[in-house]
Amino acid sequence: MENNIPTINVALGQYSDLFMLLAAIVYASAFVAFAWDLAKSSKLIQEIDAATIATEKKVLVAAGAADAPPAASTENALVNDSMDYTVASAKRMAAKIAVSLTWLGVLLQGFAVVARGVAAARVPWGNMYEFLSTGSFLVALVFSLVLLKKDLRFMGTFVLGLVTVMLCGATMGFPTPVAHLVPALQSYWLIIHVSIAVLAASLFTITFAMNVLQLLQHARMDSLAAGKPDKFPFMRLVPGAAPLENFAYRINAVAFVMWTFTVMAGAIWAEAAWGRYWGWDTKEVWSFVIWVVYAGYLHARATGGWTGARSAWLSIIGYLCIVFNFTIVNIYFNGLHSYAGL
């Protein structure tokens, strides 16, 4: 910033605020639509079950053999273990609406985030408002992109709920007009370190939801096996515990590498800013704790007796540490990272 300070575009900043609000409203509607999809799933399941039984009967009659393949039932499953879209999954109207709304929200918020950056002539993640608004955008974008390939709509309520809360938290909790960066944040490491951190956190968000569902599904299967009635029929929209665990592991592995990079990039930046690459500042402590917990998770998957539910708990604890690090540590703990515009 060699004395030629760019001018802040206040008007564009206000447009950005407006579009953030619009996006929040659209996300809230998408959340409702996803919830509606879950709510009416039991009815849909009954219909599909009835149809499946009918076809199977027909198949049995036509083939006249006992070993006829139960093709119809897998075809009609609402979600399969590889989380690919199935024929039956196309029947979920509410979910389709929810996904369209999510994309609309992503577009609106994408404009808002870019406009914020252009208005300030810098990357739009320099204070708490911007961490939350850009972070929620990334969560929504990553989720939408994954949806193109895999049927993760069963996570929609959770993800959109979280995105809505984050965005409302930003606009109501930490409203901050567009401004220049304080000198401490004027570094290209802000672009590298923070963007990878937020991206890693958004991936961990998705795996957190998967691991919670994995535990729920696990408990539900145990209770069904014990002959108890199905208390959560909507969980039939959710794949089995094992595929959830495996998919979460794949994403966690990617996110862990990103988090490792985040910590290392942070250390390089800390060296340039404060003269030491590691000094156990509160933020550093918690980034370390998160790293160690997820490292423990990866090792647990390779340790006898620790796979399944136990490793899922580690992933969940790791995510709670991330949330803690991002909220409580940013807001209440004194440290070198406390310039987040509070």
Q: Interface residues with another protein (CB under 8 A)?
A: 1, 3, 5, 7-8, 176-177, 179-184, 186-187, 189, 246, 249-250, 253-254, 256-257, 260-261, 264, 267-269, 271-282, 285-286, 288-289, 292-293, 295-296, 298-306, 314, 329, 333
The SS3 assignment for 68 reads coil
Minimum CB separation of residue 323 from another protein in Å reads 15
Min dist CB 296 to another protein, Å, is: 5
Minimum distance between the CB of residue 74 and another protein, rounded to whole angstroms? 16
- Which two three-digit tokens encode residue 259? 């988090």
Contact 144, 155 (CB under 8 A): no
In angstroms, what is the minimal distance from the CB of 303 to another protein?
Answer: 5
Of 93 and 278, which has the nearer Cβ to another protein?
Answer: 278
> Between 124 and 161, whose beta carbon lies closer to another protein?
124
| Dihedral angle sign, alpha carbons of residues 321, 327, 333, 337 | positive
Measured from the CB atom, the residue of 64 and 304 that comes closer to another protein is 304
Instruction: State which residue, 51 or 268, has the beta carbon closest to another protein.
Output: 268
Tokens of 306: 């620790």
Cα separation, 303 vs 299, in Å, equals 6
C-alpha pair distances (Å), 339 with each of 171, 271, 275: 18, 18, 18
**306 vs 241: CA distance, rounded Å:** 15
Closer of 70 and 177 to another protein (Cβ): 177
Q: For residue 26, what are the CA distances in angstroms to 23, 37, 108, 318?
A: 5, 16, 9, 30
Q: Which two tokens stand for residue 184?
A: 């401490």
CB of 187 to another protein, least distance (A): 4
**Cβ distance to another protein smaller for residue 3 or 226:** 3
Vertex 251: Cα angle to 260 and 259 (nearest 5): 15
Taking the complex as a whole, the smallest distance from the CB of residue 152 to another protein amounts, in Å, to: 16
224 vs 278, which CB is nearer to another protein? 278
Minimum CB distance to another protein, residue 98 (Å):
28
**Cβ nearer to another protein, comparing 102 with 315:** 315
Residue 333 C-beta: closest distance to another protein, Å: 7
